[in-house]
Amino acid sequence: MTPANKRLLAASGILLELTAMPLQKSVIAQELGSHVHGLTELNLVIANQNVQIEFISPAINLLGFERASNSPEENKLFNEVLEDLQAAEWLLSDQLEDCQMSTPVLEAPEFGSHEMSEGHEEHEHEHGEHEHEDHEHVTGDHADFRVQYLFDCRSAPPNNFTVTAFDRFVGIEEISVRWIVGRQQGASNLTPSNATLSFD
């Protein structure tokens, strides 16, 4: 591991501490079923010439649905979203094109495997309240996309980014951002009409 990557890893630990409470609240909210459609999370760390970005979104923001695909068109859409998430152009366009990028984390919803299970068929035939609650809970556990990008840049990254995710995914209405740049940290909310993230 290079010294730059070690510094970025250390900064990531700070970001995790910074976001621990909000993320815990988010997880609890999702478990209770209060899924916030239209809202996504973006965590960003810049350490010298290295950038780490984590993006978390409910599936409906990117797909338009939160269930197993029902048609070849929906299967195709799901695969297209996965392909887009493997690259970062949908999020930042070409603003970090001079950087070497990797995607160490890409998590997608798994609701498709649950829907085809025997438990789902039993749920269709049983109308007890307890079975319904269990079904809702399991589906909610697999309703998010999460992706992490690492950028190793030749020079210092810019002081601001224009987030282009709104152009690619119209289901995203707001992005809640938490960031660490050097020794500074901050938070902001981005919208389609205010999509520039500045670290000043």
Question: pLDDT for 13-30, tens place per residue?
Answer: 544 444 443 433 333 333
Q: Per-residue pLDDT tens for 92-102?
A: 999 999 999 99
Question: By the 8 A CB rule, do 199 and 186 touch?
Answer: yes
CB-based burial of residue 83 (10 Å sphere; 0-12 exposed, 13-18 middle, 19+ buried)? exposed
Mean pLDDT for the chain overall: 76
For position 15, what pLDDT does the model report?
Answer: 47
Pairing of strands 174-181, 144-153: unpaired
Instruction: Judge whether residue 35 has pLDDT over 70.
Output: no
CB-based burial of residue 148 (10 Å sphere; 0-12 exposed, 13-18 middle, 19+ buried)? middle
**Buried-state track 169-198, b at ≥16 Cβ within 10 A, e below 16:** bebbebbbbbbbbeeeeeeeebeeeeeebe
Instruction: Judge whether residue 194 has pLDDT over 50.
Output: yes
Per-residue pLDDT, averaged over 172-186, amounts to: 95
CB-based burial of residue 147 (10 Å sphere; 0-12 exposed, 13-18 middle, 19+ buried)? buried
Cα–Cα nearest to 118, from 94, 93, 97, 135: 135
Bridge partners (DSSP) of residue 148 are: 54, 105
* Least confident residue range of 69-73, 103-107, 169-173: 69-73
- Percent of the chain having pLDDT more than 90? 56
Q: Per-residue pLDDT tens for 101-158?
A: 999 999 998 865 433 333 333 333 444 443 333 333 334 444 799 999 999 999 989 8
Per-residue pLDDT, averaged over 49-73, amounts to: 93
Instruction: Judge whether residue 195 has pLDDT over 70.
Output: yes
